[in-house]
Amino acid sequence: MVGINAAYDNLPKSYLFSEIARRTRAFTAAHPELKVLRLGIGNTTETLPPTLIEALHHGVNLLSSRETYTGYGDEQGNSKLRKAIADSYLARNIKLDPLEVFVSDGAKSDLGNLTTIFGPGIVAVQDPVYPAYVDTTVISGRAGASFNGILEDLVYLVCNEKNGFFPSLPERADIIYLCYPNNPTGATATI
């Protein structure tokens, strides 16, 4: 009988962004006179522009008729979109073949899928880092148990003002997650 992936038990009990939202709600409830500017997790503040709404309606209409229905798209993403992305880079004198462009549904699922390519090994992540790098490492079984919020088999690369938010690289690691511009600090790699 197949069991549940026990590595999930090593995930933090509270997702960082859920915790931030909880603390923000508590703060705004305690201080209703203050306006909080939310700069986290990419939440939108404006409605979609009319041209985008028209394009979405057009796409839905195409899928509603047998004559224009396309089924699944290319696994690398819509070929017209990939060509448009390659063309935008060409305008900057960077030549890309549209086959080199991959359109996905986001970093979290891509990170999870990417980890399935590699076998067991030592993983290093920046600290602080975007939570998905740690969570996908945990889920893949590469991070070990958590003790006081520290995962036993994960190498933490300290990023702080003293080192310009660029860590010293470990002597040994099989996978190293470097995220620049760094999330959450915004620092860029200059090395």
Q: How far apart are CA 107 and CA 111, in angstroms?
A: 6
How many domains is the chain built from? Answer: 2
Tell me the per-residue pLDDT of 118-147, one tens digit each, with 9 for 90 and over: 888 899 999 888 888 888 888 888 888 888
Residues 131, 146 within the same domain: yes
Share of the chain above pLDDT 90, in %: 37
Question: Does residue 93 lie within any of the structural domains?
Answer: yes
Write the CA distances from 102 to 26, 79, 136, 149, 151, integer angstroms.
40, 10, 20, 34, 32
Question: Does residue 21 lie within any of the structural domains?
Answer: no
In a 3-state reduction of DSSP, which class is residue 156?
Answer: strand
Q: What is the mean pLDDT of residues 36-63?
A: 86
Q: Can you give the residue range of the structural domain that contains 92? A: 50-100
Residues 91, 140 within the same domain: no
Mean per-residue pLDDT of the chain: 86
Residues 117, 138 within the same domain: yes
Tell me the per-residue pLDDT of 69-79, one tens digit each, with 9 for 90 and over: 988 877 778 88
Residues 127, 78 within the same domain: no
What is the bridge-based pairing of β-strands 123-127 and 146-147?
Answer: unpaired
Q: What is the mean pLDDT of residues 91-119?
A: 87
